[in-house]
Amino acid sequence: MTKLLEAPTTNRQPRQRRGTGAGGAAPSGTGRRSPLAAALGLLTSPKYGPVTVTGLLFVAIFVIGGFRYRGFFSGQVFLNLFVDNAYLIVLAVGMTFVILTGGIDLSVGAVVALSGMIAASLLQTGWSPGVVIPLILVLTSILGLLVGLMIHVFKVQPFIATLAAMFLARGLCYVISQSSISITDPTFIQLAVSRIPLGAGLSITPSVIIALVVVGIAVWVLHGTRFGRTVYAIGGGEQSGTLMGLPVARTKVLVYVISGFCSGLAGVLFTFYTLSGYPLTAIGTELDAIAAVVIGGTLLTGGYGFVLGSVLGVLVLGVIQTIITFEGTLSSWWTKIFIGALLLVFIILQKVLTARRR
């Protein structure tokens, strides 16, 4: 686990120097900079500032929680952040791709519910999980493709196109069933209850592994492929991207396919967690995913951001929820207020950081 947290910092150092040097932001660009100036540069850059703040925030909350509550400062509490939020991590990864291009996907929560409903109803009629899961992933990817085509070919705003997809998915949930369907398939139950021991009494679930694999692939795609570079280019300026001869059309449609695929996968992971399909689940999850991405330092106008930042954003949301659980007297709706407040702080931070650069 520590490996995952270290990964962004080790990646960050060499690139950061290059980034600010090219931007000409540092007053003494030629000489070697003091660590203080480097730290300041890190905090005030629109690219790394928010994600650094998020990292510090996460550590701070975790340490405060550790001092306040008995038993908070344990490895399992930390691992449970991943166990409880595996599906949200996958959602946030898909959402990161979309927001990096400057779009938004409001349909993810409804698609999570829909894939849960499809899984539950098909498994009930005796389909094998080996068929059901791929089928769900294909169907949600197709939904993403349709949304992407609507946005690109018909120039419908992402907000409205994904809103239509959200209505469609939520409506289809109700058409499948109005009540909760429980899952009794042995494979699903096996995946839901099994724990992978990590030694020292710590354990994670298979969902966590899947989520981390998705994160790994997403990092590679965004930073190691031409497709990833085009995603950033579209967020930076769609017209410039087109003029540079980048495949803007294909990429713009593909990010929604990725988001659809991730929503489908998140839905499957969510059913591992709940072992049922219910048409009203995951209402408002799209907001959690957007909040995680924004808190994780991805600029809403696109162009800046990291998948690992979004993972950090999910962890911050998770640790807030954990603290509220540990506090006991605070009611769960405080979570919503805290998330709203955090969202505000980070958006203002983004605003300040990007304004300084202009």
The residue ranges that bind other proteins (CB under 8 A) are 104, 150, 153-157, 159-161, 163-168, 170-172, 174-175, 178, 283-284, 287, 290-291, 294, 300-301, 331, 333-337, 339-341, 343-344, 347-348, 351
Buried b (16+ CB within 10 A) or exposed e, 76-103: ebbbbbbbbbbbbbbbbbbbbbbbbbbb
Q: How far is the CB of 19 from other proteins (least distance, A)?
A: 25
Here the tokens at position 120 are 């539950």
Nearest of 13, 10, 65 to residue 315 by alpha carbon: 65
Q: How far is the CB of 125 from other proteins (least distance, A)?
A: 20
For other proteins, the closer CB: 150 or 215: 150
Nearer to other proteins, 141 or 285 (CB): 285
Crossing angle of helices 285-295 and 333-357, rounded to 10°: 40
Task: Report in angstroms how near the CB of residue 118 gets to other proteins at its nearest.
Answer: 15
CB of 84 to other proteins, least distance (A): 19
Of residues 9 and 301, the one with the C-beta less far from other proteins: 301
Q: Which is nearer to other proteins, 128 or 157 (CB)?
A: 157
Tell me whether residue 24 is exposed, middle or buried, using C-beta atoms within 10 angstroms of its C-beta: 0 to 12, 13 to 18, 19 or more: exposed
Cβ proximity to other proteins, 64 vs 330, nearer residue = 330
Looking at the Cβ atoms of 5 and 300, the one nearer to other proteins is 300
Residue among 86 and 294 whose Cβ is closer to other proteins: 294
The least distance separating other proteins from the CB of residue 146, rounded to whole angstroms, comes to 9
What is the closest distance, in whole angstroms, from the C-beta atom of residue 27 to other proteins in the complex? Answer: 27
- Which residue's entry shows tokens 């409880």? 84
Closest distance of CB 295 from other proteins, Å: 12
